[in-house]
Structure 1
Amino acid sequence: MNPAEIAVLILASGQSRRFGEGNKLLAPFRGQPLGAHVLMATTSFPSCYAVVPTAESPLIDLYTEAGVRIVSNPTPEAGQGASLALGISEIMHGNAKAALIVLADMPFIAPTDLEAVCAALGAADVVASERDGRLMPPVLFSRAHFEALSRLSGEAGGRDYLRQLKDVHRVPLRDEAAIDIDTEESLYRYDQA
């Protein structure tokens, strides 16, 4: 599928509960904020959205300056399902034929990882990355799933939705790409690697 037909949705409104003080996505990581690394993987997609907490103006500025459309989340404590629903609801207003979900705290996702997921659309109308038998982002949902995704709430996010589906095409994800940063310790460890 042509990247112009796919809307990227960056989920960036988690509460960083395990990280400590501050928003982990603004923490310095390899010379730039952690949440900026995902932008390098998404440059070939002209339509890109980020769900960001309403009160996080530095994060909003980071994505806005990169040309990403902001979906303001006034209640990030409502959980990942609610964040995903907000983003998909916004994407539904456009003409995208699919939505590619990526997490802002996975700094090693590369363009090739996203290309592999997108290339598999057609084998099924949902394509998920897989590492050690576990389904994970990046995940591509065809438009047929937008309505159901827009009704998610609470912590029941994309992973729970994927478990309900019978036909999900799996694309292996590289070990490094599967790393997400949840703690200050992991930030430091991978920043030094």
Structure 2
Amino acid sequence: MGISPAEARGVVLAGGESTRFGEQNKALAHFDGEPLISRVVATLSDATGTRPILAARSEDRAADLLEVLPPVPTVSDAPDYEGPIAGLFAAAESVSTPWIVVTGCDMPLVSQTAVRTLLEHATDGVDAVVPDDAGRPEPLLAAYRTASIRAHRSQLSRAAGPQRLLDELPSVRTLSTEAYPVLDRAVTNVNTQGELATLVDTLAVGGFPR
């Protein structure tokens, strides 16, 4: 029946440049009355029982984000990689748990139920558990076996993306977002201010459950 939340450490990936979002730092943009990054950190904390690791591009970037967060451990992106995978590798090297559960800082609809759904399918012999939206896996909302991430780091090029990592892992379990509506909601991400405004306008008024 998968692993317990105590066997996984949350990781929030916040190393992106947010170039499509404009001058504002996307992670600090507000959604439902709080910064995106705050919402994601709180959700992972509640889902795993431990405050997550914040993976940021640099110490300066982390310091900016920590101004709106409770004290959380931070890691700087692995310098020999680019993009989200740099944060993923850095976090995997810093944890003692057998699994990590990763989310982007721009996924405001991630919920405790979504996180625990991933962990429930993290069984023996599986290297990763990811949502699958009509044949498109979402590697930035996923549970990864820590040892598998470490073992495959040397096999990837500097510019390899998270999808390439999934391709390298021997056993990836995908969960259809059609079969798991909570994951369909959770994979929603925000790239522009327009997308954020549309998300707020489209979803029901009255708060958004974690």
Q: 1:149 & 1:186 partners in 2: Cα distance?
A: 34
Q: Which ranges in structure 2 are unaligned for 5 or more consecutive residues?
A: 203-210
Q: Deviations over 1:14-57 (max 9, x none)?
A: 11021111210111222111222212421131252111232232
Instruction: Kindly report the root-mean-square deviation, in angstroms, between the aligned alpha carbons of the 2 structures.
Output: 2.4
1:59 counterpart residue number: 65
CA 1:33–1:98: 2 relative to 1, 3 Å: same
Q: Say which SS state the counterpart of residue 55 (structure 1) adopts.
A: helix
The letter for the 1-side match of 2:189 is: D
Alignment of 1:86-101 (within 5 A): 86-91=90-95, 94=96, 96-101=97-102
Q: Give the strand-richer structure, 1 or 2.
A: 1
Q: Percent identity between the aligned chains? A: 26
Counterpart contact for 2:75–2:87, Cα < 8 Å: no
Q: Say which SS state the counterpart of residue 78 (structure 1) adopts.
A: coil
Counterpart contact for 1:86–1:150, Cα < 8 Å: no
2:11 counterpart residue number: 9
Counterpart contact for 2:82–2:160, Cα < 8 Å: no
Q: Deviations over 1:73-128 (max 9, x none)?
A: 496x932222222111212xx2x011111111111011111111100011623211
Normalised to the residue count of structure 2, the TM-score between the two structures is 0.79
Bigger shift: 112-121 or 122-131? 122-131
Count of residue pairs brought into register by the alignment: 188
Q: Say which SS state the counterpart of residue 186 (structure 2) adopts.
A: coil
Counterpart contact for 1:81–1:153, Cα < 8 Å: no
Q: Which ranges in structure 1 are unaligned for 5 or more consecutive residues?
A: none
1:191 counterpart residue number: 200
1:138 counterpart residue number: 141
Normalised to the residue count of structure 1, the TM-score between the two structures is 0.85
1:35 counterpart residue number: 37
